[in-house]
Chains A and B, each alone.
Chain A
Amino acid sequence: DVKVTQSSRYLVKRTGEKVFLECVQDMDHENMFWYRQDPGLGLRLIYFSYDVKMKEKGDIPEGYSVSREKKERFSLILESASTNQTSMYLCASSFGQLRGEAFFGQGTRLTVV
């Protein structure tokens, strides 16, 4: 069974704090993704990574950065949290494009106050 695990289910942080969201997968997947899910807006791609230390911007990278130091771990960093970053964050992983199915983590509900 593929497991994609996010470090927290719920987080409450203060405006201006630096926030780390962690994601770990156990299937040796090359690709990892961070999405943000808001009602009516679907799953918007923040960043993705196709290899260790490699990262690509998605559609809404502003205010976020990522780190992938090990193949199994992909971290999303909010450098200075703001209230408009209150959202559900979903991590996903997949093999490369030849085997494309993405598996999702359980999500982290982040509230910035």
Chain B
Amino acid sequence: GENVEQHPSTLSVQEGDSAVIKCTYSDSASNYFPWYKQELGKRPQLIIDIRSNVGEKKDQRIAVTLNKTAKHFSLHITETQPEDSAVYFCAASGGNDMRFGAGTRLTVKP
């Protein structure tokens, strides 16, 4: 099955700085790549996703890039704010399954 690796496991930035989280996947048939944010004590929620026919997608301060050849995709958060502090998960799906990375704990220091 699909294997998703995510780095770094923890990330600490100053408010206003940018944050980048990277993921790789193993199955070239994967064609859907969502990112989820999980705040403490809450369920994961989708923040942005990208499909394999697109190289980049942006939504306000967050963007995702996909390199199909290298089988990696990244989440970029600009102008970070304290409320961005959470655990972020990447995932990959090629059919009916969906597999997640191990998560990145992002801390934004005021």
Residues of B near A30 (CB, < 8 A) are 96
B88 → A minimal CB distance (Å): 11
Least CB separation from B9: chain A residue: A40
Question: A42-B89, A42-B102 are contacts. A58–B44 as well, Cβ < 8 Å?
Answer: no
Q: A33-B98, A100-B34, A100-B49 are in contact. Are A43 and B93 (CB under 8 A)?
A: no
Nearest chain A CB to B25 CB, angstrom units: 14
Q: Give the Cβ gap from A56 to chain B, nearest Cβ, in Å.
A: 7
Most buried by B among A31, A42, A50, A59: A42
- A97-B1 contact, Cβ under 8 Å, with A104-B45, A105-B43: no
Chain A residues near B94 (CB, 8 Å)?
97
Contact flag A42-B101 (CB < 8 Å), given A56-B96, A100-B32, A101-B49 = yes
With contact pairs A40-B9, A97-B93 given, residues A102 and B43 touching in the complex (Cβ less than 8 Å): no
Q: Which of A75-107 contact B (CB under 8 A)?
A: 90, 92, 94, 96-97, 100-102, 104-107
Contact B102 A102 (CB under 8 A): no
A35 within 8 A of B: yes
Q: Do A101 and B89 contact each other (CB < 8 Å), given the known contacts A45-B99, A59-B99?
A: no
Q: Which residue of A lies closest to B45 (CB)?
A: A104
In the assembled complex, A48 has its CB within 8 A of some CB on chain B? yes
Q: Quick one: which of B72-101 are within 8 Å of A by CB?
A: 89, 91, 93-101
